[in-house]
Structure 1
Amino acid sequence: MNTDLAFRPVRDADLPSICTFARSAEELYFLAPRARFPLDVDQLATSIAQRSDSRVVCRGDQVRAFANIYKREQGACYVGNVAVAPQARRQGVARFLMQQMARLASARYAASELRVSCFNRNTAGLLLYSRLGYTPFALEERLDGQQQPIVLIHLRLPLAAT
């Protein structure tokens, strides 16, 4: 299905494109709750430096999606900073990204489970994860950027043994 997509490690030259993925403060909050809108290269580079396995999905020479692993424990890899370029949404790019992150976690870390967290207001993200087979296992109460209650839903996907 998406044979025109490539999955590779992030490069410094990709950062300006990734910074354009969040079109609003709310979208940026879903991507990186501690970041300030608009996202800039310095904020993104700092986040990447604190994480591992930052990857992009490209169509041709255009970066279309981004994610990384922010924690590994007890056989689980936690994927974060999941973002898709606005012009690439609803085209299977996020599905491809998450499938590739699952393969990476399984192959590189022998992970038996992939975990993601998604805010309750991020309907597109919740629908994506549900379609991919992720199930909720915990809820965490947070305050959003306006200090209003929001729920962070933690989801998991068992990975097939290889």
Structure 2
Amino acid sequence: MQYTSNMVEEYQSEWIPDFDEQLYKSAADLAAAKTKYERWVAIGDVGLWNVDNGSLEKAESFAHETLKIAEMYKDDWNYGNAIHKGHLTLGRVALRRGDIEEAKKQLLLAGKTPGSPQLDSFGPNMVLAKELLEKGENDTVLKYLELCEEFWDFHLEKLIKWEEQITRGEKPNFGTNLLY
């Protein structure tokens, strides 16, 4: 059987993650961390999944810790991931609290990541962008996508497609980029 991009997009649009399972896995990784560095690598995901679990204070605390520790590891492969996930988490917390301006600011800060092996290949997490699009914040999301072009040239065509869809007033299917 030959797979087409339409088949992949259809699969991605139907797949919904089990947020409790993702939080459990991320928390297990965090619990297994033996060093400050290992904790830092694991903590970004825990923050993101805590937002979906409704634990905003925990998510915010993990995000601040992620960003603080990141300053010690600016030359590390995970630095870009930490910047990206930390700011996405803070933005999602702000949005849940009704602070759209702060959420927009955090989305743009997330887009200013220098990238990482994961971000450069799989691309950015689009969950906050999707949530802001649902609030009508198209201009901010378009700026975020432009920032992502700096590190995600591996799939530049996806970014361009999403930008075109948003410009036309459509809501893109971000597929698995809602999870990375």
Higher helix share: 2
**Structure 1 length-normalised TM:** 0.34
Q: Considering only CA atoms, is the larger Rg found in Structure 1 or Structure 2?
A: 2
**Structure 2 length-normalised TM:** 0.31
